[in-house]
Amino acid sequence: MLNLKSIFSIALAATLITGIPAHATEIIKLATTTSTENSGLLKYLLPKFEAESGYEVQVIATGTGKALKLARQGDVDVIMTHAPAAEAKFVDEGYGLLPRGIMMNDFVILGPKNDPANIRNSKTVEQAFAKIAKSGELFISRGDNSGTNMKELIIWKNSQVAPSFAGYKSVGQGMGKTLLMANELQGYTLSDRGTFVAYKAKLDMAIDFEGGQALANPYQIMLINPAKYPDLNHKGARALSDWLIGAEAQGMINSYKVKGEQLFKATYSE
């Protein structure tokens, strides 16, 4: 029978040979958007998954463009993003597998409470954007190739307005910092609703325009093709994907609230 000293020696030898502790928790590297992090949703969901599965999820919160780049480079095991066109291209190129829509919220245009560009009576988001450009008011863009930034650029294109007018400022920051900057400068910006609700107490801004299919914000989780990168933690990635579409996680997504407001709506269906 092995005594305590022998067990310690075996564990130490395993550490010296492999460079990792014996019985180390397996890590899943998840690249995702700043909105899922800033809203607090991941801090709410992931401890439950980790407790049930034994995996540890390492979150890299960044813009969707950067998340997809990390996945293309084989630097993460799984991604959760919110830019449908970019995600479809990722799958078409052979990098992504099993895209699953797990939840959605929406985008909103935030701005000064007195709405100097008078966008609240706009009929469409494109009309609202055109009014901002014409008014001479500031518009603060994330400018970081995130899902929110991609959505914003699509709206400018559909509004037939080039985002190069004098009041347009591209700041290259995540959603939280962009909100704080827009608040300080009292400009308009496009935000996902979840991050706005999480930051609302810090802001002297209002939702000046909302609603409509054009502002829908769906989120997907996608696996990385093992043919591209066989050494990733594909088993852990699939476990996380399966858990997020399950009844427990979908119920948690629906029940997650900040200051009494529901931030995301679960959307997975077979």
Summarize pLDDT for 128-169 with one digit per residue, the tens.
999 999 999 999 999 998 889 999 999 999 999 999 999 999
* Token pair in block for residue 175: 């959603």
In a domain, 100, yes or no: yes
Asked whether residue 16 is assigned to any structural domain, the reply reads: no
d(CA 40, CA 107): 17
Q: In this structure, are residues 32 and 87 in contact, taking their beta carbons and an 8 Å threshold?
A: no
Final residue of a domain: which of 215, 235, 250?
215
For residues 51 and 77, membership in a common domain is answered with: yes
Please report which confidence band the pLDDT of residue 270 belongs to, taking 50, 70 and 90 as the band edges: low
Mark whether 184 and 206 lie in a shared domain.
yes
Q: Is residue 248 part of a domain?
A: yes
pLDDT confidence tier of residue 38, bands split at 50, 70 and 90: confident
Could you tell me if 224 and 211 lie in one domain? no
Check residue 181 and give its pLDDT: 97
Q: How confident is the model at residue 22 (pLDDT cuts 50, 70, 90)?
A: very low
**Residue 37 located in a structural domain:** yes
Residues 41 and 98 in one domain: yes
7 assigned to some structural domain = no
pLDDT at 4 over 70: no
Distance CA 175, CA 172 (A): 10
| Cα within 13 Å of Cα(250), Cβ side | 14
Tell whether 57 and 148 lie within a shared domain.
Answer: no
Mean pLDDT of the chain: 90
Same domain? 97 vs 231: yes
Is-above-0.85 flag for pTM?
Answer: no
Same domain? 192 vs 242? no
pLDDT of the residue at 24: 53
Same domain? For 224 and 177 the reply is no
Q: How many domains does the chain have?
A: 2
Q: Is residue 13 assigned to a domain? A: no
Give the CA distances from residue 22 to residues 46, 217, 222, 238, in Å, rounded to whole numbers and listed in that order.
24, 42, 30, 24
The answer to whether residue 123 sits within a structural domain is yes
110 and 61 share one domain? no
- Is the pLDDT at 115 greater than 80? The verdict is yes
Same domain? For 97 and 123 the reply is no
Q: Indicate if 226 and 99 belong to the same structural domain.
A: yes
**What is the pLDDT averaged over residues 22-50?**
88
**DSSP string for residues in the chain:** ---HHHHHHHHHHHHHHHSS-TTPPPEEEEEEEHHHHHTSHHHHHHHHHHHHH--EEEEEEE-HHHHHHHHHTT--SEEEE--HHHHHHHHHTT-EEEEEEEEEEEEEEEE-TT-TT--TT-SSHHHHHHHHHHHT--EEE--SS-HHHHHHHHHHHHTT--TTSTTEEE----HHHHHHHHHHHT-BEEEEHHHHHHHGGG---EEEE--SGGGEEEEEEEEEPTTT-TTS-HHHHHHHHHHHHSHHHHHHHHH-EETTEE--EE----
Is pLDDT above 70 for 11? no
Residue 63: pLDDT band by 50, 70, 90 thresholds?
confident
Which residues span the domain enclosing 48?
27-104+218-266
Average pLDDT over residues 180-191: 97
Q: Residues 244-259: pLDDT tens digits?
A: 999 999 999 999 998 8
Determine the Cα–Cα distance for residues 6 and 100; give it in Å rounded to an integer. Answer: 47
Sign, CA dihedral 127-133-136-138, equals positive
| CATH number for position 207 | 3.40.190.10
Asked if residue 167 and residue 122 are part of one domain, the reply reads: yes
- Within a domain: 211: yes
